């Protein structure tokens, strides 16, 4: 199990995401810089213990109707050579671990392998800020195939009133809006074939 270090990161994850998020094709905000707040998420463990894996929900509060974004991230101790340049969110100095290369998780093979494992029931979601603590609020509905399915990550989150009814697996988790109300939505699902 991964250990959560309660330390500083410079720049912070929110500072890195503020510059990176508006450059993404799926960003729905306006021309002004987003004002991001951390609104939820969870972690997964890398079986090899080398990559930190976090699924973070951030809410952009600049719009009248705030938008919630899901950003899966892989934290690495060295740069990845096998991913496109735009996959790098940025680098940050971690108070315990030193320089971390932070990648958009959809381009990180370890992050996606663990997401597939979660959708197959072979990984346990972990609390975002506590070590060795499963997050029971994160649920998988339906079943995922045993092979390596294509997984669709929902970048702009939409609240759903009930768990989706689908034969393929979907990952449902929650977040908190700036006004304190909570929502749940589909974070990822096995893509239809």
Chain Cα centroid distance, residue 134: 16
Within a domain: 1: no
Does residue 150 sit within a domain?
yes
User: Does pTM top 0.85 for this prediction?
Assistant: yes
Q: Is residue 112 part of a domain?
A: yes
The domain containing residue 50 runs over which residues? 9-190
The confidence score (pLDDT) of residue 33 equals: 87
**φ and ψ at 2, to 5 degrees?**
-75, 145
Any residues with CB less than 8 A from the CB of 41 and at least 6 apart, and which? 54, 55, 56, 57, 70, 128, 173, 175
Q: Is 62 inside a domain boundary?
A: yes
Report yes or no on 3 lying in a domain: no
Maximum C-alpha span of the chain: 44
102 lies in a domain?
yes
pLDDT digits (tens, 9 = 90+) for 105-147: 999 999 999 999 999 999 999 998 887 889 999 999 987 666 6
* Contact between residue 56 and residue 90 where contact means Cβ atoms under 8 Å apart: no
Please state, as a whole number, how many other Cβ atoms lie within 10 Å of the Cβ of residue 162: 8
At residue 2, the pLDDT reads 57
Asked if residue 4 belongs to a domain, the reply is no
CA distances in angstroms from 4 to 76, 81, 113, 171, listed in the order given: 14, 26, 21, 23
Residue 157: Cβ within 10 Å count: 22
List the chain pLDDT tens, one digit each, 193 residues.
555 655 677 789 999 999 999 999 999 988 778 999 999 999 999 999 899 999 999 999 987 889 999 999 999 999 998 887 789 999 998 766 678 899 999 999 999 999 999 999 999 999 988 878 899 999 999 876 666 568 999 999 999 876 666 667 999 999 999 999 999 999 999 877 6
- The reply to whether 127 falls in a domain is yes
Beta-bridge partners for 182: 176
In whole angstroms, give the CA distance from residue 177 to residue 145: 33
Number of domains into which the chain is organized: 1
Cα–Cα distance for residue pair 171/57, rounded to 1 Å = 14
Q: 17 φ, ψ to 5°?
A: -70, -30
Beta carbons within 10 angstroms of residue 161's beta carbon? 6
């Amino acid at each position: 199990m991964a250990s959560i270090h309660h330390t500083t990161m410079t720049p912070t994850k929110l500072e890195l995401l503020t510059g990176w998020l508006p450059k993404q094709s799926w960003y729905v905000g306006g021309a002004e810089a987003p004002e991001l707040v951390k609104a939820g998420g969870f972690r997964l463990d890398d079986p090899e213990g080398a990559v930190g894996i976090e699924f973070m929900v951030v809410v952009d509060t600049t719009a009248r109707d705030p938008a919630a974004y899901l950003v899966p991230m892989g934290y690495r101790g060295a740069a990845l050579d096998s991913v496109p340049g735009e996959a790098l969110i940025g680098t940050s100095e971690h108070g315990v671990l030193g320089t971390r290369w932070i990648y958009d998780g959809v381009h990180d093979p370890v992050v996606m392998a663990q997401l597939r494992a979660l959708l197959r029931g072979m990984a346990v979601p972990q609390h975002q800020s506590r070590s060795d603590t499963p997050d029971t609020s994160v649920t998988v509905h339906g079943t995922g195939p045993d092979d390596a399915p294509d997984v669709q990550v929902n970048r702009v989150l939409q609240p759903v009133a009930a768990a989706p009814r689908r034969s393929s697996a979907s990952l449902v988790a929650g977040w908190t809006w700036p006004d304190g109300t909570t929502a749940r939505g589909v974070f990822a699902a096995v893509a239809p074939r």
